[in-house]
A and B are shown apart, each in its own frame.
Chain A
Amino acid sequence: MRMTGDAADDDSSEEGDGRHTRMLQGITGMPSEAFEGKKKRKMKDDGIPELYPESEYNPSRDVVDGDGQISIDDLLNPLQDNPGFGKLRKRIQQIENNSKAIHAPLRTADQAKVERKAAYEISKKEVTKWQQIIQRNREAPTLLFDENIDLGFSTVGAIASEFEPRTEFERKMAALVSDDKVMEAYKKDGSRLLEMNTVSVEEEKDRQSRIAKMRSLLFRHELKAKRIKKIKSKTYHRLLKKDRLKTEYSKIQMDPEVAKEFAMKQERLRAEERMTLRHKNQNRWAKRILTRGLNSQDEGTRAAIAEQLQRHSELTRKMHSMKDSSSSSDGDDEDAGSDQDMGSKVLGKAIEKTMKVIQDDDETPKSGLLSLPFMRRGLEKNKAAAIEEANLALQEYKDSKKKLENSVGSEGPEATSISGRRVFGASKTQISDAGNKVKSDYNYGSSDSEDDLRASKNGNIETQRSNILQKDVNTDPVLIQEDTDNHQESVFKDFNEIVKNPGPKTTYEVSLFVSDTWKKAGNRDEKGTNVKKSAMPSGSVRQDRKDTEKEVEEDSDTDSEGQMVDRILTSGSKLSYELPSQEELIRQAFAGDDLEDEFEKDKMEILNAENPEPEKPVLLPGWGQWTHVQKKKGLPSWMLKEHENAWKKREEAIKKRKDAQLKNVIISEKLDKKAEKLHTKALPFPFTSKEAFEQSMRVPIGPESNPATAIGALNRPEVVKRPGVIIKPIQFEEVNPHEKPEERRGDKHRSKKNKGSGGRSMKKTSA
């Protein structure tokens, strides 16, 4: 609209004026005065002279034109003489110069539209200020929302400094605490206390060294314990346990307190055993073994079961018997070392008891099955035999007692040297070792049997006897060595025969013993083989030969390959015929096989596998064969065409293969289905090239392949926020658009360090 006004100004020709004004009027719908006024002014400026003097007879041109309006000039003219006219005229001129056309108001709808448009422009401009911030945040690898969290006071001191007394009590306390007198007194007292606290340098050094020593001791002890704990050897631990028991035992003997404790412990164990019956084949393992049958188990298992049962019986034996045993053992210990004495005593006891048995057995039942005459006869026979054997045994006991007494002097050191430990491979003490072994085996055997024996009616006697046996074996290994097996067997026989009730249990025992002897036999065999090995010269010779061979081989190994080749060559040169040329050699070597043809075949096979030949077109059997028409026609044309197409396709595919032009190469174009899993079908969205995509996952980001300092940055998620922390909406801040992202990151670190200073837009959070 303003434009139109300017256009009017530009138009200088007077003739066009009227028409132009009318046009303007038509377009804009504004009154013609708006344009007229300007025109008039222009005319005045032009200064065209009036033809007639101005009067009411000669009306001014305006009036003639029909424009008889009174202008400001008309009104001003009469005032020319008045004072202040100049001022007035100046002002009028000013107004005239500055005046513009006032437009008529638009329709409200249009007006609103214009307003809205303007408003939109303004608010658009206003909002655009966020562009930089948004850009930056979108490009940032990570958005941090957990910064600038005000957690309040971080230290106790800070909290305490902010403390204000609120309740009555607190106020009283505060008054007391902050009292001047109290403070002064405290200060003085404190200083005095400090004076009293002085420690000399020597004392401190002494203390430190003491502590250091203790620490090092502790450390060493710890190390040792760790090392020992790691040892896996069972033997070692068994020995360790034995040692421990020994020391405990000695302690018990030395210290009545410890003894008492031990007794208490034992008592508790017994009580526990009685309650839980833990060792009476209660656990799953034992039950399973029993259900499977004890006889079908191997040696070790049976031994273990027996041991368990023994332990049970030990723990549940009535107290008086235990006391007996303990007292007897005490008695033994009182005897202290004189094993022989103890042995003789035991033997004496055994003799007594056998005598008693012999005497007791005189009684015969007078009623029941056993009172029948033939039974009685049989019993008597048995008894007679038993008595005979008992007598024999008695004799033996006496013999052994005598021997025992005889071998007092020689036995001492031997007995001390004997320990429960087996020693292998010590050739010097082999014989005695064997004796030891036998002894120990006996021990095992007897201990195994003990339980069951005790279970039997007259258990006590048997234990005694077995003890005696042990002692016997213990005391003279020489004797055992003399008549190893026979003697043992006889002893066992005696033993068995002495036992009154020969039932399944005894057989079981026997089997146990037998197994033991078998074990021994095995041991002996081993020894024998050892001896054989050492004795036999042929074996060693063989070994030697082998060794030498090995050496030779090693030598040849150490030779370089060139030497090997040399050797071959020399061997070749030794031969009488002439050396053929290289080509000939090769021809000879590959005489039988036509490699080229084979390769061709292979290639064709692969080609066929990857681009299979199309099948020959055939009609379904029976279809269309009942008339001659079809037969004459042959296959339908579309089938033939398809077949032809398939052939063409195949040929093209073969031509397109990478190895089509390469004669001596096969390039497989088969797809690897497993590898396909590891490829994307198309390039994923944000990436623009294959290389970039592959680059993106080239370097592993795991903690195994990156230092700890780098992992954090590599694995940082896009948004870091903390649960429970309210995130406030963004607040505006100025952003330098030319700032580099690296600088910004550094900035971030800085702002992290001096918390609370940074007014980051995104990081406005509150706890």
Chain B
Amino acid sequence: MKVKVISRSVDDFTRERSQDLQRVFRNYDPSLRTQEKAVEYVRALNAVKLDKIFARPFIGAMDGHIDGVSCMAKNPTQLKWIFSGAMDGDIRLWDIASRRTVCQFPGHQGAVRGLTVSTDGRMLVSCGTDCTVRLWNTSADNIMELSNSTKNSVEPASVHVGKNAYLAVDHQWDSELFATAGAQLDIWNHNRSEPINSFQWGSDSVISVRFNPGEPNLLATSANDRSIMLYDLRMVSPVRKMIMMTKTNSIAWNPMEPINFTAANEDGNCYSYDARKLDEAKCVHRDHVSAVMDIDYSPTGREFVTGSYDRTVRFFYYNSGHSREIYHTKRMQRVFCVKFSGDGSYVISGSDDTNLRLWKAKASEQLGVVLPRERKKHEYHAAIKKRYMHLPEVKRIERHRHLPKPIYKAATLMRAMSDARKRKEERRKAHSAPGSVTTQPLRRRRIIKEVE
């Protein structure tokens, strides 16, 4: 007679150390586990709830400026250092890890409006309303020296004086060029005292400039005449201009998609554009209830952060119409500048209340060393959350945010207004001859024209 028995070799099941995991064999036949889907749904629900519990995004504030923080710059080679400029002309270098000032760069007589660091991290460029552009030597050795010395301040490497106030500056990726914006757009070289090139199109002053990190010769500016302009440094002239209904305060290029940029608009929305098709936005990111002051892309290119005049910081996916996250604190005032950290896991915001604030990019992310098993668990939770995201309960918990009262009220009001507008539009359409009334999609509605 044939007897079926389970035969297992001892060697396979003997642990080498007592800490080793016991070997477990499972039968993965789905018919044996009929409740698995329900189990996973409950797990997803719990994961979402856990996320809520662990959501502690605020890490700390960096206190030291004596006026509102107007601009920031991150060092592309260093994660822990960030420069910030204030309205009183003070420039500081912060150590994010200890949240202390490493050193100061005094010299500006008026507000500092623009800061940028060269790609190798050796040169800091600042400009301000005192019509000067200042270059500072910020190589690591120099900084260490400065932080160790007693006086904690530094002389600029060079000072260039212009005719008009400068409102923004940005550095080209991997080169010695940088651009300042003011009455016109100037292109500078580190080693020259005069701009090597100037662009002017229209008579209004340019308020922001941003180089495309992926395609270093492209840059975009926004101006006071509500326009967004594209430039190509290989050409002798500006490339294209587009005029919107409201002013664009800041522009950010997607670092992973060099053809796309997002504009932070005065009307509280952000507009993602394809640089090749400026007649309509690719995506309109709504949620802020007041002007968006600054925008910065995560280095992964999958999301961006915005700081707004409504005292909040919001996170958007590059392709979603609404924000995934909102950060606010009682003491945080108008946010003027935001920056993602170089590794994409932190966000720094500078606001009118003279503080820089350090946030986690994911509110419930676990900081510190994550063991492989923990990581796997987190990944699993994220996966099931994503899978059951559409079910009403999970969605509700995930989307729920506590908002400051003024923002909540403003949002409700704005929603009511837009609903009313929509209703009116619909009725108008219904009561007029077919085809005589057309509605512009939101992606085009705010664009006035594209100028060649």
Contacts and interface: CB of A to CB of B under 8 A. Distances in A.
Interface string B384-395: 100111111100
A701 B380 contact: yes
Given A677-B391, A718-B302, A130 B40 contact: no
B392 A681 contact: yes
A719 B318 CA distance: 13
Interface stretch (B26-34, B99-107, B181-189, B423-431): B26-34
B213 interface: yes
Contacts of B255: 727, 729-730
Interface string A685-713: 00000000100111111111111000110
Given A127-B259, A684-B390, A715-B383, A115 B342 contact: no
A762 interface: yes
Contacts of B299: 145, 726-729
Interface residues of B, number: 57
Contacts of A701: 40, 380, 383-384, 387
A130 B383 contact: no
Contact of A702 (B40, B258, B342): B40
Interface residues of A, number: 59
Given A134-B257, A718-B302, A729-B256, A677 B276 contact: no
A212 to B, nearest CB: 16
A711 B239 contact: no
A412 to B, nearest CB: 51
B239 A116 contact: yes
B124 to A, nearest CB: 18
A355 interface: no
A379 to B, nearest CB: 74
Interface in B348-392: 376, 379-380, 382-384, 387-392
A706 B343 CA distance: 32
A717 B382 contact: yes
B236 A115 contact: yes
A116 B300 contact: no
A112 B452 CA distance: 9
- Of listed A115, A684, A703, A705, residue having the most chain B CB within 10 A: A705
B76 interface: yes
B215 A127 contact: yes
A143 B214 contact: no
B195 interface: no
Nearest to B35: A700
Secondary structure of the A side of the interface? loop
A61 interface: no
Nearest to A131: B259
Contact of A700 (B40, B232, B345): B40
Contacts of B40: 700-702
B256 A137 contact: yes
B240 A130 contact: no
B232 A119 contact: yes
A678 interface: yes
Contact of A116 (B215, B257, B343, B452): B452
Nearest to A124: B276
B383 A134 contact: no
B390 A726 contact: no
Interface in B12-38: 26, 28, 30, 33, 36-37
Contacts of B380: 701-703, 711, 715
B173 interface: yes
A721 B230 CA distance: 32
Interface string B204-227: 000000000111001000000000
Contact of B214 (A130, A696, A705, A726): A130
Interface string A126-142: 11101100100100000
A723 interface: yes
B238 A116 contact: yes
Contacts of A677: 391-393
A719 B275 CA distance: 25
Nearest to A685: B390
A715 B382 contact: yes
Nearest to A701: B383
B6 interface: no
Contact of B256 (A113, A717, A725, A762): A762
A262 to B, nearest CB: 34
A727 B343 contact: yes
A716 B238 contact: no
A178 B232 CA distance: 59
A730 B173 CA distance: 11
B286 interface: no
Nearest to A111: B237
A127 B218 contact: yes
Interface in B386-413: 387-393
B379 A727 contact: no
Contacts of A113: 452
Interface in B229-282: 230, 232, 234-240, 255-260, 275-276
A134 B36 CA distance: 37
24 contacts: A115-B235, A115-B237, A116-B452, A117-B452, A120-B239, A123-B230, A123-B235, A127-B258, A127-B276, A128-B276, A680-B391, A702-B36, A704-B36, A705-B28, A711-B380, A714-B383, A719-B302, A721-B345, A723-B343, A723-B345, A726-B299, A729-B256, A731-B214, A762-B256
Given A705-B30, A728-B76, A729-B258, 17 more contacts: A115-B235, A120-B230, A120-B239, A123-B230, A128-B259, A134-B260, A137-B257, A678-B391, A697-B388, A702-B43, A703-B376, A706-B28, A721-B345, A725-B343, A726-B342, A727-B342, A762-B256
**Smallest CB-CB A-B distances: 4 pairs:** A729-B213, A727-B299, A119-B235, A729-B255
